[in-house]
Amino acid sequence: MTDFGTIAGKVVVITGGARGIGLATATALQALGAKIAIGDIDETTVKESGAARGFDVYGTLDVTDHQSFEAFLDDVERRLGPVDVLINNAGIMPTGRVVDEPDQITRRILDINVYGVILGSKLAIARMLPRGRGHVINIASLAGETHIPGLATYNASKHAVLGFTDTLREEYRGTGLRFSSVLPTLTRTELGTGITAPKVLRPAEPEEIADAIAKLIVTPRSKVRVTTVAGVISQVVGFLPEA
Ligand code: NAD
């Protein structure tokens, strides 16, 4: 069986890592010995979080800007070495009926949630392919497989992330590159605030999503759905196809 190694020593880049699921994941992977780089559009918070947790690299990154993303990855590789894992986590979730959604909000959701993930994946592939190794993890959502009213554009963006990631997995099969998606349930973060979950569900904690991501890195998982049923967290896992 393929050896996925350990998390210790891996260079992990996390977009949108200043808070929420990204920050919890950075913290969990750092505790397991990874070298952590977080990039976020929120300059103040990313600096505060990075300094407070002692991450190896932290700074401003706009996932919708090619130059900004490339420069961030260049800086990480100069300081820490080749990126082993890129976690495309940055995302936004404005709510409301699409008919009332201003065009610039519609575009912004797609720009960050879809273009940002595609751009990050492209830049990572260009670096990882010559090395024959690397792992891109795209944070989708259970909204990528369901149809939550009031979130039409967000749902569409997450469906897109799943389709994109599944396609890359097929395209790069046998190259040493991995492409995975994570589908969190409603999670207790700023983004998740104000959304109510059905009665049987409780919101997940960001640390529970981080735990699923940590397991994904070291096992042959291709897709992880993190759900809570009657208060119990469960990880439903899809496995990598045989190479
Ligand atoms: P959050 O709002 O707490 O954090 C998102 C981070 O992304 C913020 O720090 C923000 O500044 C950053 N960001 C926004 N635009 C950016 C850009 N252009 N470039 C770089 N960084 C940018 O949200 P979260 O709940 O931690 O969400 C993280 C991911 O998990 C998102 O992709 C979200 O869609 C997904 N998700 C969240 C939930 C939930 O209920 N919280 C559920 C399923 C999936």
Whether 172 is catalytic is no
Q: How confident is the model at residue 1 (pLDDT cuts 50, 70, 90)?
A: very low
How much is the pLDDT for 243? 47
Ligand 1 atom 7, closest CA? 16
ipTM value of the model?
A: 0.99
Query: Are 152 and 98 spatial neighbours (Cβ–Cβ below 8 Å)?
Result: yes
Say yes or no to pLDDT of 40 above 80.
Answer: yes
The answer to whether the CB of 111 is under 6 A from ligand 1 is: no
With the most atoms of ligand 1 within 8 angstroms of its CB, the residue from 119, 158, 191, 207 to mutate is 191
How does pLDDT run across 47-70, given as a tens digit for each residue?
999 999 999 999 999 999 999 999
pTM: predicted TM-score of the whole model, two decimal places: 0.97
How much is the pLDDT for 200? 58
Question: Where does residue 87 rank: exposed (0-12), middle (13-18), buried (19+ CB within 10 A)?
Answer: buried
Enumerate the β-bridge partners of residue 229. 232
Ligand 1 atom 3, closest CA? 20
The answer to whether the CB of 182 is under 6 A from ligand 1 is: no
